[in-house]
Amino acid sequence: MLNKLNDLYEENIKTHIYAKSLLSAQIVEAAQRMITCLLQGNKVIVCGDGRSYINAQCLVANLLNRYELKRPSFPSVLLSLDSAVSSTFISDNSLEKLYQHQFNALAQKGDMLVALAPLGNENNVLNIITYAVNKEINVIVLTGNSNDHIQGILAEKDLHIAVPSAKESRLLENHLFIINSICELIDFQLFSHS
C-alpha cells in the first residue's frame, strides 16, 4: 500500500508541475477577473456537479466567509442541488434545468459564472454555461484536458482553465488548488497592505 500511496503522490505532483507551466497565467487572469467583478459590486455565481459540487461549495465558502484573512464577505452564490427548493423543483422539472432557473433568477449584467466541469459530461453545468454565454454573463470554467468541446460553447471573452489530466481524482485535486489559489490571490491583491 505504501508503494501505491507513493505513486499517488507522484502522479499528483507531476500533474501540479505540468499545470503550473500551462495554467499559471490563466489562474492569475481568473483572479483578476473575479476581483474586477467583485469591486464593481457584482456577484460570483458558482456551480458544479457530482464531486465537483464540493469544490464549488468551497469556493463560495471562501468568498462569503474568508480564505485566510479576516475580511469583508464577497457576494457569491452557489447554485444548489441539495435543498427543499431543489427537491420540489426536480419533482416538477428536469434536473438539467435546475441550475438554469436559479441562474435566471439571480444573474444580472456584470455578474460572473464559475463552472466546474471536470469530465465535460455534466449536462446541467454545460447547460448553464450555454445559458450564461447567451445572457452575456462572463464565464470561467474549470475542466480537464479532454473537454475541448467546452471551448466551442464559450464566448471569446470567457476563460477556460483545463487541467492537464483526464483522471477525475487529479482534476478535483487541481481544481481545489486553483480555487484556493484564486482566493489567496484575491486576498493578496486587495488586502495585503492592510
Give the pLDDT mean for 55-84. Answer: 91
Q: Which residues pair with 115 in a beta bridge?
A: 47, 141
Q: Mean pLDDT across the chain, nearest whole number?
A: 91
**Residue 54 to residue 173: CA distance in whole angstroms:** 11
Residue 83 has pLDDT above 80, yes or no: no
Give the pLDDT mean for 98-108. Answer: 87
pLDDT, residue 95, reads: 67
Contact 74, 65 (CB under 8 A): no
Three cell numbers, residue 154 = 464559450
Tell me: the pLDDT tens digits for 134-186? 999 999 999 999 877 888 899 999 999 999 999 999 999 999 999 999 999 99
**Residue 5 to residue 184: CA distance in whole angstroms:** 28
Q: Ramachandran region of residue 136, left (φ > 0), alpha (ψ -120 to 50) or beta? A: left
Give the pLDDT mean for 36-57. Answer: 96
Tell me: the pLDDT tens digits for 106-118? 999 999 999 999 9
H helical segments located in 118-191: 123-134, 148-153, 168-191
